[in-house]
Protein backbone atom coordinates (compact mmCIF):
# COMPACT_ATOMS: atom_id res chain seq x y z
CA UNK A 1 0.00 0.00 0.00
CA UNK A 2 1.34 3.43 -0.95
CA UNK A 3 2.11 5.87 1.82
CA UNK A 4 -0.40 8.72 2.00
CA UNK A 5 0.99 12.24 2.10
CA UNK A 6 -0.57 14.33 4.82
CA UNK A 7 -0.51 18.11 4.68
CA UNK A 8 1.07 19.84 7.65
CA UNK A 9 -1.12 21.70 10.12
CA UNK A 10 0.47 24.97 8.95
CA UNK A 11 -0.70 24.24 5.42
CA UNK A 12 -4.18 23.19 6.48
CA UNK A 13 -4.79 26.38 8.46
CA UNK A 14 -3.16 28.61 5.85
CA UNK A 15 -0.24 29.89 7.92
CA UNK A 16 2.25 28.41 5.47
CA UNK A 17 5.39 26.37 5.77
CA UNK A 18 8.85 27.54 6.75
CA UNK A 19 11.62 27.42 4.17
CA UNK A 20 15.28 28.39 4.35
CA UNK A 21 17.08 29.96 1.39
CA UNK A 22 20.66 31.23 1.41
CA UNK A 23 20.68 31.19 5.22
CA UNK A 24 17.46 33.21 5.66
CA UNK A 25 14.01 32.01 6.72
CA UNK A 26 10.86 32.45 4.66
CA UNK A 27 7.25 31.28 4.74
CA UNK A 28 5.46 29.86 1.69
CA UNK A 29 1.69 30.06 1.99
CA UNK A 30 -0.77 27.87 0.06
CA UNK A 31 -2.72 29.28 -2.88
CA UNK A 32 -6.16 30.67 -2.12
CA UNK A 33 -9.10 29.17 -4.00
CA UNK A 34 -9.98 32.61 -5.37
CA UNK A 35 -6.51 32.87 -6.99
CA UNK A 36 -6.50 29.46 -8.65
CA UNK A 37 -8.16 30.53 -11.95
CA UNK A 38 -5.70 33.41 -12.34
CA UNK A 39 -2.75 31.16 -11.39
CA UNK A 40 -3.84 28.56 -13.94
CA UNK A 41 -4.44 31.28 -16.55
CA UNK A 42 -0.85 32.48 -16.18
CA UNK A 43 0.23 29.13 -17.65
CA UNK A 44 3.34 28.78 -15.55
CA UNK A 45 5.50 25.93 -16.76
CA UNK A 46 6.51 23.46 -14.05
CA UNK A 47 8.21 21.03 -16.41
CA UNK A 48 11.80 19.84 -16.20
CA UNK A 49 13.07 22.48 -18.58
CA UNK A 50 14.58 25.76 -17.49
CA UNK A 51 11.95 28.41 -16.90
CA UNK A 52 12.44 31.86 -18.36
CA UNK A 53 12.69 35.23 -16.69
CA UNK A 54 13.86 36.93 -19.88
CA UNK A 55 10.67 38.65 -20.95
CA UNK A 56 9.08 41.37 -18.84
CA UNK A 57 5.81 39.40 -18.94
CA UNK A 58 7.38 36.27 -17.43
CA UNK A 59 9.20 38.31 -14.78
CA UNK A 60 5.93 40.06 -13.87
CA UNK A 61 4.10 36.73 -13.47
CA UNK A 62 6.82 35.37 -11.24
CA UNK A 63 6.95 38.54 -9.15
CA UNK A 64 3.16 38.62 -8.77
CA UNK A 65 2.92 35.13 -7.30
CA UNK A 66 6.07 35.48 -5.22
CA UNK A 67 4.78 38.67 -3.58
CA UNK A 68 1.42 37.05 -2.79
CA UNK A 69 2.65 33.77 -1.36
CA UNK A 70 6.25 34.12 -0.11
CA UNK A 71 7.14 36.13 2.97
CA UNK A 72 10.44 36.96 4.66
CA UNK A 73 11.26 36.64 8.37
CA UNK A 74 9.59 39.98 9.10
CA UNK A 75 6.40 38.87 7.34
CA UNK A 76 7.03 41.18 4.38
CA UNK A 77 6.16 39.95 0.87
CA UNK A 78 9.12 38.83 -1.20
CA UNK A 79 9.84 40.01 -4.72
CA UNK A 80 12.13 39.00 -7.53
CA UNK A 81 14.15 42.16 -6.87
CA UNK A 82 14.61 41.25 -3.18
CA UNK A 83 15.55 37.67 -4.08
CA UNK A 84 18.16 39.01 -6.51
CA UNK A 85 19.60 41.35 -3.86
CA UNK A 86 19.77 38.43 -1.40
CA UNK A 87 21.80 36.40 -3.95
CA UNK A 88 19.22 33.73 -4.69
CA UNK A 89 19.96 31.45 -7.61
CA UNK A 90 17.73 29.91 -10.25
CA UNK A 91 17.43 26.66 -8.26
CA UNK A 92 15.98 28.66 -5.34
CA UNK A 93 13.37 30.22 -7.64
CA UNK A 94 12.42 26.84 -9.06
CA UNK A 95 12.14 25.41 -5.55
CA UNK A 96 9.74 28.21 -4.60
CA UNK A 97 7.39 27.18 -7.47
CA UNK A 98 7.53 23.54 -6.45
CA UNK A 99 6.87 24.33 -2.79
CA UNK A 100 3.97 26.64 -3.63
CA UNK A 101 2.27 23.99 -5.75
CA UNK A 102 3.05 21.15 -3.33
CA UNK A 103 1.58 22.81 -0.24
CA UNK A 104 -1.42 24.06 -2.22
CA UNK A 105 -2.50 20.53 -2.98
Q: Is pLDDT at 86 greater than 70 in this prediction?
A: yes
For residue 50, CA distances in Å to 37, 61, 95, 98 come to 24, 16, 12, 13
Q: Is pLDDT at 83 greater than 70 in this prediction?
A: yes
Q: Average pLDDT, whole number, for the chain?
A: 85
Q: pTM to 2 decimals? A: 0.83
pLDDT of residue 74: 96
Digit-coded pLDDT (tens) for 3-36 = 555 656 655 666 799 999 999 999 999 999 999 9
pLDDT confidence bin for 104, thresholds 50/70/90: confident
pLDDT of residue 8: 60
pLDDT of residue 12: 61
How far is residue 11 CA from its own chain's centroid? 13
How many other CB atoms sit within 10 Å of the CB of residue 95?
A: 15
Q: Do 76 and 32 contact (CB within 8 A), yes or no?
A: no
Amino acid sequence: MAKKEVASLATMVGTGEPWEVQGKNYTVKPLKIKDEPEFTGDQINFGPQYFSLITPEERAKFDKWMSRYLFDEAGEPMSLEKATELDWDVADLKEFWHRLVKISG
